[in-house]
Chain A
Amino acid sequence: MTINEIQDNIIDEFSLFDDWMDKYNLLIDMGKDVSPVDPKFKVKDFLIEGCQSKVWLHPEFDGHLITFTADSDAIITRGIVALLIKVLSGRTPEEIITAELYFIDRIGLRQNLSPTRSNGLLSMVRQMKLFAMAYDAKQKQI
């Protein structure tokens, strides 16, 4: 599946619910499924600090695809972290760099990704793209 197909799937899944409470409950459930970041990576180097909540993000590159693991101390944030992983993990650097993320807006969780929230999510997206750019540049050098 392409990145956009996955985004569309998520939008479909969330559109089953009209009520915000159900959407948040779905998000909370998704947060529970996040595969944990290896504790040895849950350190300052991989921490994206927000005023409201923290996000840890760890990338691994096998020369072709980047696999991300991530976590947050807040459950709602962790739910969105799970969605971002679903969309962007296991992709080539180029796919990640060029990805346009529209699903968060469409499922009605845009406010969680606004710069004023300072919950680490916006920085997480930026960081995922930066990792992809760094791996991409490294690849092209070789």
Chain B
Amino acid sequence: MKNIKEIRSDFPILNKEVYGKPLVYFDNGATTQKPQSVIDSVNEVLTSYNSNIHRGVHYLSDMSSEAYENARQKVASFINAGKKEEVIFTSGTTGSINTIAFSYGERYIKPGDEIIISYLEHHANIVPWQMLCERKGAVLKVIPMNENGGIIIEEYHKLLSSRTKLVSVTQVSNSLGTILPVSEIIRAAHSMNIPVLVDGAQGIQHGIVDVGAMDCDFYTFSGHKVYGPTGIGILYGKEKWLSELPPYQGGGDMVDKVTFEKTTYNQLPFKFEAGTMNYPGAIGLAAALDYVTAIGRENISLREKELLQYATEKMSAIDGLKIYGTSANKIPTISFLLKGIHQYDTGMILDKMGIAVRTGTHCAQPVMDYFGIDGTVRASVCFYNTSEEIDSLVAGIEKVKSMFA
């Protein structure tokens, strides 16, 4: 494995200074930074072979179409999908979830049906289902959470019933970092023939994702959270579902034959890819997955476990600091508050010290409501961060405490 110095030099932005101080980037949960290879690959599309995909008969269009389809194959291999046709490019996790909420909803959801989500969901895995429930007269059921920031799995088993038509849960909580027991969730749902969507926005970058072994019916993630470009995401779906579902959006490339009387739809995966897709993003995402594979996903996991342990130890030792999300099974995301100090104040002062964290509700207001708080400060760490940076954060927190004491 490359050493940390080599890894950091792959990411140009990590050498940046803000307010004259070295950047400490702990907002990886919101978006990750990009290695040079990703930047180069997008740059190469735009400078060397930019052309609309699946359209032209000409040389450049062939090149970009081929690179785009190779990217699809790369994603399929990375998540161990059975076929590349099961991989749909979207605009991001939100786009992927909305696609299923619409298409699955139109096809299968009737009044009185139930959809199960968990308390830990990002708003992107709450609101599309609420909109569907409103449209169809269906009911949203929520797996409750506990003090540690995990879900109460026994309650999930009780919620499953003949009325349940879909389970949609996050793999990892974005606000607290908790890893959910998705395998158990999927097994239980499947025993009752209920399909499961897994929101992998915070899972894809922190370990090995094998949709085959997981056996989920749908898996969604965003390119920009796994060191790729923004505006590109993935919807993986088992072929048996995707071929049954109606398309989400109509437009170019998703059609087979169009007349004013009737339109027939293209085959998978194109049925779900209406309009000109973000092919530079898709090609950039493939470069990001190549980068992650080259570093080694086991290596990334191992390094992140060490960083989590170091950060948890150091931060727990700070007087008046409370960590939200204390599950034994979590990614290196540390959500915290300082006693008597508002998260915005903490975030503003850390920012001035060159430390980028996120403050607020993290698009997970129910989780904040559960703890009776308005928000937290979230330091989301990843493999290119260092223990020295965690020391800087700890020093920054001490400074905040001295200013607001």
A: which residues have CB within 8 A of B?
20-21, 24-25, 28, 51-54, 73-77, 112, 118-119
Contact = CB atoms under 8 A, between A and B. Distances in A.
A77 B375 CA distance: 15
B403 interface: yes
B190 to A, nearest CB: 38
Interface residues of B, number: 17
A52 B342 CA distance: 9
B340 to A, nearest CB: 10
A52 B19 contact: no
Contacts of B19: 20
B344 A119 contact: yes
A75 B352 contact: no
B359 interface: yes
Given A21-B403, A74-B343, 18 more contacts: A20-B19, A24-B349, A24-B403, A25-B403, A28-B403, A51-B360, A52-B343, A52-B344, A52-B347, A52-B375, A73-B374, A74-B345, A75-B342, A75-B345, A75-B404, A76-B345, A77-B344, A118-B360
A54 B345 contact: no
Contacts of B375: 51-52
30 contacts: A20-B19, A20-B352, A21-B403, A24-B348, A24-B349, A24-B403, A28-B403, A28-B404, A51-B360, A51-B361, A51-B375, A52-B360, A52-B375, A53-B342, A53-B344, A54-B374, A73-B342, A73-B374, A74-B342, A74-B343, A74-B345, A75-B341, A75-B342, A75-B345, A75-B404, A76-B344, A77-B344, A112-B348, A118-B360, A119-B344
B361 A76 contact: no
From B348, B352, B360, B374, residue with most partner A Cβ within 10 Å: B348
Interface string B129-163: 00000000000000000000000000000000000
A56 to B, nearest CB: 14
A21 to B, nearest CB: 7
B359 A52 contact: yes
Nearest to B19: A20
B360 A24 contact: no
Nearest to B359: A52
Nearest to A73: B342
A22 B404 CA distance: 13
A23 to B, nearest CB: 10
A53 B403 CA distance: 18
A134 B361 CA distance: 33
From B344, B349, B374, residue with most partner A Cβ within 10 Å: B344
Contacts of A74: 342-345
Nearest to A109: B348
A119 B374 CA distance: 12
Interface string B389-405: 00000000000000110
Contacts of A24: 348-349, 352, 403
Contacts of B345: 74-76
User: Top 6 closest A-B pairs, CB basis?
Assistant: A74-B342, A74-B344, A53-B344, A52-B344, A51-B360, A75-B345
A57 to B, nearest CB: 17
A81 to B, nearest CB: 13
Nearest to A120: B344
Interface in B346-368: 347-349, 352, 359-361
Contacts of B342: 53, 73-75
Contacts of A21: 352, 403
B82 to A, nearest CB: 41
